[in-house]
Amino acid sequence: MATAYSEDLRKRTLALINSGKTISEVSRLLNLSRPTIYRWKLQLETTGSTTPRSKNPPPYPSKIKDWQKFKEFVDQNGDRTTEEMARLWGGCSRHAISRGLKKLGYTRKKKR
């Protein structure tokens, strides 16, 4: 997986452009693509920063709010599929139910 360019390189690149060099010259000098330099320039203009963006998406808010009630629901309906549980719980998908089960520590493995 590719890593982000350092903030130092980004600042030096934009400093060269501000000193009067063209983007094509800086591109050839530092061996960077022109679209990358344009993207850094736009990022500096819009956010005021040249720091690389985070690769992790923001956390997804859970549709399950009352975890004690959900635990009781799971204990009563543990033999059902996640799709059936989602239908019974209402207002969420089977994926949300699956994430909730994982958060509570329930697995799909059968206990003997």
Residue 61 is assigned to a structural domain of this protein: no
Determine, yes or no, domain membership for 55.
Answer: no
pTM above 0.75, yes or no: no
The mean predicted confidence, pLDDT, of the chain is: 89
Q: Look at residue 60 in the predicted model and tell me its pLDDT.
A: 78
Q: Does residue 74 share a domain with residue 42?
A: no
The pLDDT-based confidence of 111 (bands split at 50, 70, 90) is low
d(CA 95, CA 56): 20
For residue 33, the domain's CATH number is: 1.10.10
**Total number of domains in the chain:** 2
Residue 32 phi, psi dihedral angles, 5° rounding: -120, 155
**Is 79 among the domain residues?**
yes
Q: What does the pLDDT look like over 28-45, one tens digit per residue?
A: 999 999 999 999 999 999
> In the prediction, which pLDDT does 2 show?
72
In eight-state DSSP terms, residue 68 is H
Give tens-digit pLDDT for 52-76.
887 788 777 888 889 999 999 999 9
Distance CA 9, CA 111 (A): 55
Q: Is the pLDDT of residue 1 over 60?
A: no
- C-alpha 23/C-alpha 28 separation (Å) is 9
